[in-house]
Every structure is written in structure tokens, then in C-alpha cells.
Structure 1
Amino acid sequence: MADSGEGRRVCGMPEKAQLHVAMLLLQFGYAGFHVVSRLALNMGISKLVFPVYRNIIALCLLVPFAYFLEKKDRPQLTLNFVVQFFLLALCGITANQGFYLLGLDNTSPTFASAIQNSVPAITFAMAAALRIEKVRLDRRDGVAKVAGTLACVAGASVITLYKGPTIFGPSGSGGGGGLELAAVGGDKNWTLGCVYLIGHCLSWSGWLVLQAPVLKKYPARLSVTSYTCFFGVIQFLVIAAFMERDAEAWKFHSGSELFTILYAGFIASGVAFAVQIWCIDRGGPVFVAVYQPVQTLVVAIMASLTLGEKFYLGGIIGAVLIVAGLYLVLWGKSEERARVARDAVSGGDREGLLVAAAAGGGGGGIVRSAGNKAASAATQPLLLPSSTPTDNV
């Protein structure tokens, strides 16, 4: 952890305990987003209108903090930065959230959350392919990261290709639960939905890899996120101009519709973002990522109670493989960080020690190698979701 947690107390609670409580609340907040998003789709909210309103709310929350807190850290905005922010938005907002909603519409909140656990492994694979991350199969940490990545791929494949028999279904659902409606009702397609969710994870991971060099040149995370969110809104509006011309789609027809959008904007993209940044700063990216599977469990319980969701053998097997792969990747990153720290100490390299403390993996963390030294990690600022939301989602 970044801090021992004994020196800072709030209401008598040590910082270490605060971090654990904050992470649990964060997972509940993100889990609620999955369920709320599914409810929004069930109510007929447009898959284009929903992210537009959500990102407008998130932008309104982020801009004041970015403007006042990063005045000294924010470089001058140039055309080159504008292009990079636009591309980040295309990958991390538009494709990320668009694929997520398309996938969720065809599957279920539980399996959308389960597949998201593969993001750290996919990010590692992308970073390795681009030679941002070194793959060392002669060390335990390297083998663990590769094995974890393969397990995540296998898990996602099982969820996509094999549904299997029903393992659990809430009594009284009468075969018309939320999952069954999503899977077989109308023009819904389970396999296609899983493919969309894999596209969501690929977009999310690509965004994490792409933002690493941007943050190195533009070291103002809130500002980068604000610009990304702004261009994401513009892109969704342009798409909506061609594909969502019904004026009624932009109106709220009930308090429930308004609630889902406010929850997505304020909780999933606003409050959750602030809590996650604090937890990453004080606990490190690995600590934050370890809690990710808790979200899947909470989503499963929420979806079962509110949507009557059923659980299938293929989904459970796939989720177990993905979570196992996640922890293998996290363990490998943790071992790598510890090894770099030991090497730095034995070599008397103070700079290497400081870098080793910053380098880490999981939850979107990636390490850039420069010679034998690691550089800083880039972590997911929003879930979307998957945005953040800008995703976790």
C-alpha cells in the first residue's frame, strides 16, 4: 500500500480501514450502475441518449475541479493535444460505452461485470504487443501474467460460446426474468452481446494504453479526463444526429428514467471517479483492482433480486476463469514490483526504488519499461464500467 494507514484518522478510523470501506462502497456504486443501466434499457431509454446525458453530467462535475485544482499542472492546449484527446474519447468514451450498452442489452448485468474483470489482462496483452510491457517467461511473474491473460481469454470465450443449463433462478420468475428476456426475447442475441462486451473491454484497455503517453506529456489527469469527456459528448451527439432523430427519445417520461441517468452521471461517473482516484493514490492500483470481483458478486445479488436474473453454467465457469486470471495478472504485477524494488535497493539505485514504488498493475495499470527501469503506471479514471464508467464503463 502506498501508506501504512496508521497516521491519518477520520472519526477515529485509521486510513487503512478507510481505504477498505471506500473500496467496498465503490464496488457497490459500480454494481448499482450495471443494474440501473439494465433498468434504463428495459424502460426503453435510447442507447445513444443515455450516454449523452450521462457524460454531460460527468463533464459538469469534472470541469470545476480540473480548472481550479490543476491550474499549475495543466500545459498549454495545442492542436496535437486536441487530436489526442479526440482519439482518447473515441476509444475510451464512444466505443467503450457504446459497446457496453449494446452488450448489456443482449446479455445481463452480471456477465457484463464478469467480463470486465478481464480488462487488466487485455491491457497487459496490448502493452506487451506494443513493447510497452516486457514479457519475461523465465521468471514467475512473467509466467503468471501470461497464464492470467490466457485464463481471462478462455473465460470470456466460455461465456460467449457456451451458455449451458440453468444453475440458479429466483423462484417466481416464471421464466420471464431479466436475464431470460435479454437472452432470448425479441431480437436479443446472447453470443452477439458477449462479442459486444469483449469489444467494450478491448476499447477500455486500448484507452488505458493510449492515455499513458498522453499523461506523460500532459500531467493533469482531471483535465485530460474532462477533455476526453467533452469530445465523447460531441461524438455521441454527432452519431445521435444521424441515428436518433426522434425528439421523444430525448425527453424524460418518468421519474425512474431521470433517476437512472442521474445515477449514471453523478454516482458512476462523478462520485465513484473521485473515490477511485483517492484509493489509487493512497492504496495503489493493485489494491484497487483486487476488489474488482466483489463488484461481480454484488451485481449478481442485485440483478437476481431486482431483475429476476437466472445464472447459467457457462457464465459461472467463465466468470471463475476470468477472476482467476485477474488475480494471476495482479500477482505477477505485484511480484514484478517487489523484484524491481529489491534490485533497486541492492544496486543502490534510489531513483529505481522510487519508480518501483509507483509502478504497479491491475485495474488498468500498465508499466512502461525503459532499459531496466519501470516508468509510472496509468490507471483507469472512469468506469464506464466501464465508463467509468468513462467505464468502468
Structure 2
Amino acid sequence: MEMDRGALKPYIVVILVQLLYSGMHIISKSALEFGLSPFVFVFYRQAFGAIVLLPFAFVVIRRGSPQLSFMLLLKIFIHALIGITLSLNIYNVALKYTSATVASAFNNSIPVFTFFLAVMMRMEVFKLKSISGLMKMIGITFCVAGIIIIAFYTGAPLMRSMKHHPVSNHQPKHSPSTWIKGSFLMITANIFWSLWLTSQGQLLKEYPSKLLFTTLQTIFSMIQSFLVCLVVERNFAKWELHMDMGLLAVAYSGIVITGLTFYLQSWSVEKKGPVFLAMSTPLAFVFTLIGSFFFFSKATTLGSVLGGAFMVGGLYFVLWGKSMENTTKIVQPCIEEGIVPNEVKEMASSCPKV
């Protein structure tokens, strides 16, 4: 029973991560529509995260922590710049130009980018002639199909939106050019995020303390985001925080996302690899779709449901392919040594357990 619980932990963690991210999409979109600067948002978010993480980091340091070389610090600095500072700033600008549901839907391109980056870095094996490779290809195809459906097909509304809603009244009508610009920026942010996911596994091998690793990234990104604000947002009146949706978004993103979710992601990457975490992103779309209906009064359409179904199907196929690979890695050496009969090989290849 204990083994079963241990095996379920990575799946529970990634579901929790995506649920927390769906909350970030909804709250962040609302804060940006209420006037919060996307660049100031990132700076305060990372500052809140650093405040939360530092006390725990000091406790770990007092107990003893891995040695840090200058080269490793430089790698973590660049890692934070690419995957947090650039990705989050571009993401928030794109979110202002689009919507929470669209942002969450576009995040499902992350598995595609992460998979190909992981293959290029030789972190993932992709053999199209094998059954596991075919399952992965089907999964990736399903994810891409889901993105295309959501982007180009609306369909009939399945649930009617509420006519009067306090948050939805603040949402502007986006022009086609603004929507395209936001979509392009969202894809760019996702590429940076995917690169952050794939390089994180190697950095965690060099510096295995996940808490200190997360804290260092948060501090570096806070400094980097402050410099970005100085250059881009020179109107210091926009740096002020008030008791409104902006403060809630900053606190939630800093404490829950930067402080908790980044740590959970590092744990997940260490246990199951970057593609496993990236392939769970369709779940955030489903959660955001439901939340947007109640919070923004957004109608659920047939295209959104179909796209979400394709993406979740893609998640299943990729995880199925990875499960088949893991089973083969365990059983094959035993077969070659004559320890396990051939019947086991046939069972392992035909009945994988996800």
C-alpha cells in the first residue's frame, strides 16, 4: 500500500500544480484588467516569493547545504532570466492582450516544445518505430489538434454566460491585430518556459537542494524584474499597490505560485522528468475554463470542450508511451539474461499501467 501511495504522489503533485496555475490565470487576468502593470506585477510577485522562501532557506543553510561555485551561480542566474523573468514578463503582456482561457489553452503547446527540446538534449528517447514512440507521437498530435481547434473553432455555446458580472464588465474588446500579437507573445513565453523545464533537470543534478535552488532563482528573477521595471515602467505611480485585485494577484502569485508551485515543479521534474510535468498542462486549461465561466462569466463553447478533450487525450497517450518505455527498461535486461520468460515481455508491451 505504501508503494502505491508513493507511486501516486507525482500524479497528485502535478494535478495540484495545474489547479494552482489555473487560479493564477484567472486572478492575474482580472488584476491586469483593473490596471496593474504587467512588469510591476512580475517584480512584486517575485519579491513576495523571496520573502516567503528566505526563512526556510536559512534553516536549510544552517543544517548544511551543497557548495555553490561561481559557474553554478551563473547557470542558475541565466536559468532564472530565461524561464522566469523573460517568460513571466512576456506572458503577462500576452495575457493582457488575450484572455485567461486562451492563455491556459496556449500553455498546452508547452508539452510540444518541451518534448522536442528534451529530445534535442537527449533527455528523452523518441523511437517512432516502437510502440511507445508511436504513443508519444499520437499524444503530441492530439495536443496540437486541440490547440488548433481552440484557436480556429468556436462552436455553439454549451453554457450561457451571465449578462451582468462585475469582473467581466472591465474586460475590453480585443482587435484581431491585438489578439494575434498576444498569441505570438504567448507562444514565445511558452518556448522560454519549456527551455526552463528541460534545463532544470540537469541543474538539479548539480545542485540537488530544491528549496535553495528555488530560492536562488526567485531572488535572481526579482532583481532582474526590478531592472526591467526601471527601464520599461518609468511612471512610478503604477508601482503603487492598493487593497484591490492587484494586491491579491501579487500575493497569490508570489506566495502560492513562486513560493509553493515552483518547489513542487522542481520535485516533480526530479522524480519524473520535465516532459511528465509539461504534459499535465491540459489540466490547467480544464480548470481555467470552468473558473472563467464563474469568475468572468465566459460561456463554455463546443470548440473549447473539444480542444480540451484532445489535449487531455494527448496527455494520456504520452504518459502511456512513457510507461511502456519504463516497463521495457526494467524487463528487457532480465529477458536477455534468461531470468524472465518471454511471456512477461509480451504482457509488459501489451498491458502497460499508467
CA distance in 1, matches of 2:155, 2:165: 13
CA distance in 1, matches of 2:176, 2:166: 15
The percent of aligned pairs where both chains have the same amino acid is 30
Residues 102-121 of structure 1 aligned to structure 2 (within 5 Å): 102-121=93-112
Aligned to 1:262: 251
Aligned to 2:139: 148
Aligned to 2:32: 41
CA distance in 1, matches of 2:321, 2:295: 37
Pairwise CA distance, 1:239: 1.5
Change (3 A) 1:18 1:118: same
CA distance in 2, matches of 1:40, 1:266: 16
Structure 2 length as normaliser, TM-score? 0.80
Aligned to 1:50: 41
More helix by share: 2
Residues 1-393 of structure 1 aligned to structure 2 (within 5 Å): 3-5=3-5, 26-69=17-60, 72-78=64-70, 80-160=71-151, 162-168=152-158, 170-173=160-163, 178=168, 181=171, 184-185=173-174, 189-274=178-263, 292-346=281-335
Tell me whether 335-344 or 41-50 shows the greater mean CA deviation.
Answer: 335-344
Change (3 A) 1:214 1:326: same
Aligned to 2:340: none
Tell me whether 95-104 or 68-77 shows the greater mean CA deviation.
Answer: 68-77
Pairwise CA distance, 1:273: 4.1
AA aligned to 2:162 is G
> Secondary structure of 2:38's match?
coil
Aligned to 1:361: none
Change (3 A) 1:245 1:166: farther
CA distance in 1, matches of 2:36, 2:131: 48
AA aligned to 2:178 is N
> Secondary structure of 2:75's match?
helix
CA distance in 1, matches of 2:117, 2:200: 13
Question: After superposition, what is the alpha-carbon deviation per residue over 1:311-343, rounded to whole angstroms, capped at 9, x for unaligned?
Answer: 455544433333322222222112111111212
AA aligned to 1:29 is L
Change (3 A) 1:135 1:185: closer
Task: Say which structure, 1 or 2, has more relative contact order (CA 8 Å, 6+ apart).
Answer: 2
AA aligned to 1:252 is L
AA aligned to 2:220 is F
Change (3 A) 1:55 1:218: same
Does the 8 A contact of 1:31 with 1:295 survive in 2?
yes
Q: Which runs of 5+ in 2 are unaligned?
A: 338-354
CA distance in 2, matches of 1:120, 1:326: 9
AA aligned to 1:143 is L
Does the 8 A contact of 1:49 with 1:250 survive in 2?
yes
Pairwise CA distance, 1:40: 0.7
Pairwise CA distance, 1:153: 3.0
Aligned to 2:350: none
Does the 8 A contact of 2:146 with 2:309 survive in 1?
yes
CA distance in 2, matches of 1:2, 1:126: 35
AA aligned to 1:257 is G
Pairwise CA distance, 1:44: 0.6
AA aligned to 1:303 is S
Does the 8 A contact of 1:293 with 1:323 survive in 2?
yes
Tell me whether 205-214 or 17-26 shows the greater mean CA deviation.
Answer: 17-26
CA distance in 2, matches of 1:123, 1:16: 23
CA distance in 1, matches of 2:97, 2:253: 19
CA distance in 2, matches of 1:95, 1:179: 30
> Secondary structure of 1:98's match?
helix
CA distance in 2, matches of 1:24, 1:87: 28
Does the 8 A contact of 1:155 with 1:317 survive in 2?
yes
AA aligned to 2:315 is L
> Secondary structure of 2:157's match?
strand
> Secondary structure of 1:74's match?
coil
CA distance in 1, matches of 2:250, 2:215: 19
Tell me whether 329-338 or 99-108 shows the greater mean CA deviation.
Answer: 99-108
CA distance in 2, matches of 1:290, 1:153: 12
Q: Which runs of 5+ in 1 are unaligned?
A: 6-14, 349-393
Pairwise CA distance, 1:206: 0.6
CA distance in 2, matches of 1:344, 1:69: 40
Question: After superposition, what is the alpha-carbon deviation per residue over 1:198-232, rounded to whole angstroms, capped at 9, x for unaligned?
Answer: 22221111111222332222222222222222221
Does the 8 A contact of 1:89 with 1:231 survive in 2?
yes
Q: CA RMSD in A?
A: 3.5
Structure 1 length as normaliser, TM-score? 0.73
Does the 8 A contact of 2:30 with 2:167 survive in 1?
no
